[in-house]
Structure 1
Amino acid sequence: MKKIILFLFVIVTITKSSAQKFSGRVLDSKSGVPLKGVEITDLNSGEAIKTNKNGYFTFKSVAFPLELEFCKNGFLCSFLTVDENKVDVKVYLQKDIDQLSEVIVRSSNIPQEIREIPASVSLISDNDLQRTDNFNLVQNFNYVPGVFVGQGALNTNKINIRGIGSRAQYSTNRIKAYINGIPLTTAEGELTLDDFDPEYLDRIEIFKGPVSSAFGAGLGGAIGLFTDKQRPEGSSIKAGFNYGSFNSKKIKANFNYVKDSLDVSFYYNQIDSDGYRQNGEYDRISLLGSAGLLNKSGNYWNFFFSYTNLKAYIPSSLNEDDLKTDPEKAAFTWNQAAGYESYDKNIFGISYEHNFSTDLKNQTSVFYNFRDGYEPRPFNILDENRKSFGARTKFNYQTSIFKKISELSFGAETMLEFYETGTFENLYEENAARRSVQGDRLSLNEQNRNYINVFAQLNAEITSKLLLEAGFNFNSTAYDLQDKFVQDDVDQSGDYRFDPVLSPRLGLSFEAFPGKNIYASASHGFSTPTVAETLTPEGLINTDLQTETGWNYEIGFKGNWLSNKLYTEVNLYSIQIRNLLVARRVGQDQYIGVNAGKADHNGIEFSSAYETYLNDEFQLRLFLNSNFNFFKFDKFVDLGENYSGNAIPGVPEYMISPGVETIFKNLTANVNFQAFGEMALNDGNTAYTDPYELLNLKLNYNWSLSQHLRLQFIFGINNILDEEYAASIVPNAVGFGGSAPRYYYPGNPRNFYGGVTFDFDF
């Protein structure tokens, strides 16, 4: 009897030991993003389950040795054999053909698949970034429907989204931007993305239209930059050299180290160019680094820093005659003064992701930005120093409402910015040499600006096919200005606080058919005036100036076709801007802000991507992006002139961009075409640019010398047709001293580039 009992005990013990609970997590092999809906099959029992929204899965009863199969649409199936139970098992899936609709958008407060988001979000993937030359990051944005970048030079770029920001003079404003969650937009709303090298980035996410409910003061939209999370484990060194027309050179070096829970990356690059035009020399050194650490509790630390040293000469804009007859020349006064901009810029950030439980998580980041700039211009020399500190925290909580999965996100972001700016006389006309000479001081101001955003968002499954997204942002912005230049009779000192702004958002996404969603949304946005815009010509603060606000109403369709080989998206939107903020030019370097009326930004956007394998060695990718704009002043009267009904200047009437990419063995060929419509040059619509078309080609050849060493060769031609065109304009340019207004920045003629990169793993 004792033997029988002992035998039964052994059998039960063996059964219990062989039937155990097993859990783990599935992530994207390249980005490290958790994958939802991965089907996992126990090949021994036939039981199949799926990962949850955070990529986790659990089998309640398995027997070892365990054989699992992991499959998800758009990814290669993977198999895992486990001989014994392990803790914190991670499985990485590799993408087969990138399925755009399946991409998880990381910039939003609640990450979700791009097809399910009731908003227009465009993705620039690492593959997209390789389709163009790698000298200028923002040129890639011109392939995105609804986005236009005016490119005056490598350091003179301004981005507008759906026409918002198009009337800016020389820089980007009204757009929020982040890199790895760290704010890049200043507290005044200015943004510069020229410093970041495209080869360091893994992806870019662009939210189009007012998105203040999630990001704060971003009437035009928001841009999220993400660096690469190196996967799988290993170390690598990558270095290369590129050379192009106009004596353009780029040297780059990258080091990556991944071991266990540590992920470290450093990147160095230097770009030198003589430029196409006179006084167009450009020299930039950049150093970027990031480090990620996953601790034993599953919480994640991330460190990021960026350093940029820039000296870039400025050829400035030209009048129409010079554009047509001598586009290589610089504006006369800028050439004589050898005008340029230079600065040192640092960005530091630390973020921490803490899992309180499987349902409650927090991400908190703190950051510090510093910029020391010096810019000799013909009319004066600008010396400026900017420092900012800030923090952002976000909680995400998963729950159930009416027995349906829901997620709540809430948090806050704050920034405190200190900005010192002064100007000096430029005595370049008193010197025979072509250079700027600093003279007496003309001004000295200190500006302290701060804001706080409090936000919340709820994503809820109303039914299995209907998703609800609702959110809001509350913003409070204030500044004080101290005029420390006592030699003149004007005292600009003063304090000002803008009225608080509440920005709500509501969106619905409905899966009408499998893989095909229709959506509708309404969202509010705003942008606060800069300190310079609040100053009157007499140097006093205009306390009547109001925050520019807008509502975005949008409907759209996102869907997969042809067994998920084809993805299409179409958006129809109407943005209604109120308290339209106009920068009225009253001097060579003086603008004042005026709330001059209303504007309607109506448009249609279309994008599509098709990817397939023609055979085991030949892959084909096609894309077509386009937008058609109907941007008008609804009610706009300025200085007695009525511009109501006129087209808003600075944005093309349309953009159409088809392209094809073929991959045969180790050779990749990209051919892309861009057609842009005419642009109004001023509010009165008395002149327009001509439409233009660009055709570009890029070839990549990858050569594996060994298991650890690879070489890549690139060659490309931009503007194959040698089109003459204006790549950017200065809206409402004014001719001083009887001269013609200088509206135009000429685009580069046909130009070539090539390079080689080696990549060594060890």
Structure 2
Amino acid sequence: MKRMLSLFLLLFTQFVYSQTNPITGTVVNDKTGQPLEGITVRLLPAGSVAVTNAQGKFIFKSTTETGNNLQCSGMGYQNSTLTLEALRQQHGVFSLTPEAITLNAITVAGHTTDPYKPISKIDIAMRGVNNSQEVLRIVPGLFIGQHQGGGKAEQIFLRGFDCDHGTDISLQVDGMPVNMVSHAHGQGFADSHFIIPETIEAVNFKKGPYYAEKGDFATTGYVDFHTRNMLPQNEIKLEGGMFNTYRALGMFNLLSKKAREKQQSWYVATEYRYSDSYFDNPQHFNRFNFFTKYNGKLSDHTSLIFTASTFYSKWNASGQIPDRAVANGDIGFYGALDPNEGGVTSRTNANVELLTSLRNGDLIKNQFFYTYYTFDLHTNFTFFLVDSINGDEIRQREKRNLFGYKGSYEHTDNIGSVKLLTTAGVQVRADATNNTELAHTKDRYTLLDDIKLGDITELNAGAYISETLLLNGHFTLNAGLRFDQFFYRYNNKLAGDTTLPGAGIYKAHDQVVSPKLSLYYQVNTNTEFYLSTGKGFHSNDARGVVARNGVEVLPAAYGADLGTIFKPARNLLVNAALWYIYLQQEFVYGGDGGAVEFSGPTRRTGVDLSARYQPIPAIYIDADVNYAHGRSVGSPKGADYIPLAPEWSSTGGITYVLKNGLNGSLRYRYLADRPANEDYSLTASGYCVTDFILNYTKPKYEIGFTINNLLNTKWKETQFDTETRLKGETHSVDEICFTPGTPFAAKISFALFF
């Protein structure tokens, strides 16, 4: 007994000693003073590794290994080595000098559990984000389509999924959700147009349902946008182009340079855009955005990030037109059958995040956010199919308050030679809509009859834990578990609603458990393999949930990825993956028809291949090729196609940055033919479109020239199998209805930097 007690005291003494003599520090950008997250810090010569957190802090808890020097490395920064004595003299601050990101400088090592990070970092650095569409197109394999002329959320395609407007992909900006649950138009509606492209500093994305911190909608993956903590300089930009297209942008720092060097930053950004667009029916598109962000230290261990934004958009739309209307000469390729389509939408956000580092190196995050959102859309998909006199125009409208909280705790520990990273968190969002409406209208504002009308209250509370074990110098294991609870309440104000037995309050609830498991094998600094498996889900509209009494309303998505990221040469980076996704049930509330749409379980397999090549520093070549094979499970062969599911797709381009200030790119995007219905009797035609950008950039100004659809290809941006009847027709026709893509469109821009 005495021996056991003596051994315990010895171990406890060693533990306390190792914990009370840590090596800590903060890594910052030596040009701006801003803390740097994700920087790899190595204790030499022992080789122990730490990674900086969101406050730029790192810690080596166990100092039993000998080490006198620290080496810091990260994409976009010069490698630097500092002695421990020098670190103490600099009060624990390690400064890194920024440098241009090149493929030569990128290593696969140091990006544990994030195989997409090297591609994301260099794409943003080289290609940038030039407009609101490029915000999403930065994700390899992701395609978007617009069928309301620019005022509505884009239709998204990824990994063989028609994600509609966001049903099967999670979008966030600075940790705040973009997706809207139980939306008037469709589940998961994700309108990202409130993001000003020039404010984006990083885009983090991962594919598949393998990440414990991500819950609703993250079946094909997620995209997180991160805005700049500070502006490198003030900017005023003016743009003008064909089809009466204009844009004005202003971005201004509000604090002095000395304040920014002390990690205090505050700036504003605003933009206004107008366009008649290329449609025969002028779009009269108006959009106004305002954004502000404050980032500062409250103490040595606590920092505050506050963002606020507002957005307003109004437009007319040409909508979707049937093939026969163009073939018959009733309208042109860019024409409209219902000139009253269009809408108005707005979104105002407030977002507060507190980051607190503990003395033991752990990090606590607390985030609160609020959104007030309005949406009012008029569309006509079937024309005179149902009402041969007044037409089938519908109105979808809602007003929403969204409240949310996210809290997480990050802990790092050592168990012998094994390093353990633990993240645990809770997430809560509450949505409340007032008079969510689906109505039959005429000439936009004449109400004919209500189809659905009511108030929606929805609460999603989730908790998760993620454990990452660095087993040795090569293997990393990540295991996660997530639990989500949903509560739904619908106050039906329409006695004639055919999906419910009468007016009144309806309630339901459901929950889901989502396990995750990933294994990463680091062969060397330039080669990694990974195997990921996990369960995800997407929620369904509250109106559909209460109609089913909460039964089977959270269909599971089971996925697996087997992939690799490697550098066969110093200037070539390749990411390849074989993937699989099984979805229990593809059914969501169809706001266009007011009913739940069922399609049964589906199974998809595919291949993603991305390559980045930089033959010389001035030239950057990227290419993504994606294949997806998807089928409905249980349907007869030949009648089991998944409508609009992409099969072959590819994007790529050449970007050039010359020392004389000339820079730009030539890019393409290719989407192959795909089935428009279950038996492939109708085809959604593919397309290949090229875009060209040329800039002349100097320290004080930039002149830009952009051409969308350089070869003036006539293409269909979105397509649907729709049964329609035109005015005067006696019979309906089931065929492709489409929204045309942009023809040749040129614009110029001029920007001042100061």
What is the TM-score of this pair, normalised by structure 1? Answer: 0.82
Counterpart of 1:321 in 2: which secondary structure?
A: helix
Cα distance in 2, alignment partners of residues 296 and 648 from structure 1: 55
Whether the aligned pair in 1 keeps the contact of 2:87 and 2:94 (CA below 8 Å) is no
Alignment partner of 1:154: what SS? coil
In structure 2, the residue matched to 1:622 is 621
Provide, for residues 86-145 of structure 1, a one-character-per-residue CA deviation record: whole Å limited to 9, x for no partner: 4242413313324599699xxxxxxx954x32666685559648848834x234534633
Q: Is the 8 A contact 2:321 2:337 kept in 1?
A: no
Structure 2 gap ranges (5+): 1-21, 183-187, 381-392, 726-730
In structure 2, the residue matched to 1:53 is 51
Query: Closer, same or farther in 2 for the Cα pair 1:300/1:492, shift >3 Å?
Result: same
Letter in 1 for 2:161: I
Distance 1:129 1:83 in 2: 30
- Structure 1, residues 481-508: CA drift from partner, whole Å, max 9, x if none? 1122458896254434343111111000
Pairing 1:34–2:49 present: no
Aligned partner of 1:291 in structure 2 is 294
Q: Which aligned pairs between 1:120-159 and structure 2 lie closer than 5 A?
A: 124-125=120-121, 128=124, 131=127, 134-135=130-131, 137-142=132-137, 144-152=139-147, 153-156=149-152, 157-159=154-156
Match of 1:491 in 2: 502
Question: Judging changes above 3 Å, is the alpha-carbon distance between structure 1 residues 716 and 571 closer, same or farther for their aligned structure 2 residues?
Answer: same
SS in 1 for 2:294: strand
In 1: Cα distance, 2:118 partner to 2:741 partner = 25
Q: Is 1:699 matched up with 2:701?
A: no
Give distance in 2, aligned partners of 1:60 and 1:542: 54
Task: Indicate the residue corresponding to 1:639 in structure 2.
Answer: none
1:354 is matched with 356
How does 1:198-209 map onto structure 2 within 5 Å? 198-209=197-208
Question: How far, CA to CA, are the matches of 2:129 and 2:171 in structure 1?
Answer: 23
The question of 1:332 aligning with 2:328 is answered: no
Indicate the percent of aligned positions where both proteins have the same amino acid. Answer: 16
Distance of aligned partners of 1:664 and 1:438 in 2 relative to their CA distance in 1, 3 Å threshold: same
My pick for the range that moved more, 388-397 or 543-552, is 543-552
Which residue does the alignment assign to 1:549?
556
Does 1:728 pair with 2:682?
no
Q: CA deviation digits over 1:672-708, x for unaligned, max 9?
A: 122221121122311113332112211111123xxxx
SS in 2 for 1:743: strand
SS at match of 1:195: coil
- 2:433 maps to amino acid: Y
Contact 1:250 1:272 in 2 (8 A): yes
Q: Distance in 1 between matches of 2:73 and 2:60?
A: 16
Amino acid across the alignment from 2:752: F
What TM-score results when the alignment is normalised by the length of structure 2?
Answer: 0.83
Letter in 1 for 2:532: S
Who is 2:99 aligned against?
A: 95
* Letter paired with 2:672: G
Kept after mapping to 2: 8 A contact 1:363/1:394: yes
Is 1:473 matched with 2:477? no
For 1:600-648, what per-residue CA distance to the aligned partner results, in whole angstroms no more than 9, with x for missing partners?
A: 111100111123545xxxx221111111111111224xxxxx5776332
Secondary structure in 1 matching 2:37 = coil
The answer for the alignment partner of 1:528 in structure 2 is 539
- Tell me whether 208-217 or 140-149 shows the greater mean CA deviation: 140-149
Aligned partners of 2:465 and 2:401: how far apart in 1? Answer: 28
Hey, what does 2:415 align to over in structure 1?
401
Aligned to 1:229: 229
Letter of the 1:215 counterpart: K
- Aligned letter for 2:251? N
Secondary structure in structure 1 of the residue aligned to 2:575: strand
Corresponding residue for residue 677 of structure 1: 672
| Partner residue in 1 for 2:701 | 711
Separation of aligned partners in 1, 2:544 and 2:99: 48
Q: 1:738 Cα deviation (Å)?
A: 1.6
CA shift in 2, pair 1:57/1:528, >3 Å? closer
Structure 1: runs of 5+ lacking an equivalent: 1-20, 42-46, 105-111, 429-434, 637-641, 705-709
Note if 1:447 corresponds to 2:456.
Answer: yes
Question: In 2 relative to 1, CA 365–374 (structure 1 residues): closer, same or farther, beyond 3 Å?
Answer: same
Pairing 1:735-746 to 2, within 5 Å after superposition: 735-736=724-725, 738-739=732-733, 741=735, 743-746=737-740
2: CA distance, partners of 1:531 / 1:472: 25
Distance 1:133 1:301 in 2: 27
CA distance in 1, matches of 2:565, 2:69: 36
Does 2:582 match 1:576? yes
Quote how far apart the aligned CAs of 1:222 are: 1.4
* SS at structure 1 position matched to 2:213: helix
Q: SS of the counterpart of 1:210?
A: coil
2:573 paired residue number: 567
* Per-residue deviation, residues 31-59 of structure 1 (Å, max 9, x unmatched): 84335435699xxxxx8987721254799
The reply to whether residue 515 of structure 1 matches residue 520 of structure 2 is no
Quote the residue 1:301 is aligned against.
304
User: Which residue in 2 is equivalent to 1:414?
Assistant: 428
In the TM superposition, residue 312 of structure 1 has moved relative to its aligned partner by 1.8
Supply the distance in 1 between the matched residues of 2:88 and 2:522 (Cα, whole angstroms): 41
Query: Does the 8 Å CA contact 1:214/1:472 hold for their aligned counterparts?
Result: no
C-alpha distance in structure 1 between counterparts of 2:538 and 2:582, whole Å: 14
**Cα distance per residue 1:324-381 (max 9 Å; x no partner):** 6755544412x1xx22111221111111011122332110101111112223445243
State the Cα distance separating 1:459 from its structure 2 match: 0.6
CA distance in 2, matches of 1:583, 1:423: 12
* Residue type of the alignment partner of 1:394: S
Q: What is residue 634 of structure 2 aligned with on the other side?
A: 635
Structure 1 residues 113 and 161, CA gap change in structure 2 (3 angstroms): farther
The residue that corresponds to 1:754 in the other structure is 748
Task: Report whether the alignment pairs 1:388 with 2:387.
Answer: no
Structure 1 stretch displaced more, 467-476 or 181-190: 181-190
Could you report, residue by residue, the CA deviation over 1:168-207 in whole angstroms, capped at 9, with x for unpaired residues?
Answer: 3xx3323222211122222333321133221111121222
Could you say which residue in structure 2 is the equivalent of 1:177? 171
- Partners of 1:288 and 1:520 lie apart in 2 by 40
Give 3-state SS (helix, strand or coil) of 1:292's partner: strand
Does 2:152 correspond to 1:162?
Answer: no
Q: Distance in 1 between the 2:639 and 2:427 partners?
A: 38
| 3-state DSSP of counterpart to 1:206 | strand
With over 3 angstroms needed to count, the CA separation of the structure-2 counterparts of 1:143 and 1:295, relative to structure 1, is: closer
Q: How far 1:146 moved relative to its partner?
A: 3.2
Structure 1 distance, partners of 2:107, 2:308, is: 27
Partner of 1:191: 190
Give the aligned partner of residue 11 of structure 1.
Answer: none
Give the secondary structure class of the aligned counterpart of 2:289.
strand
On the 8 A contact 1:416/1:451 being kept in 2, the answer is yes
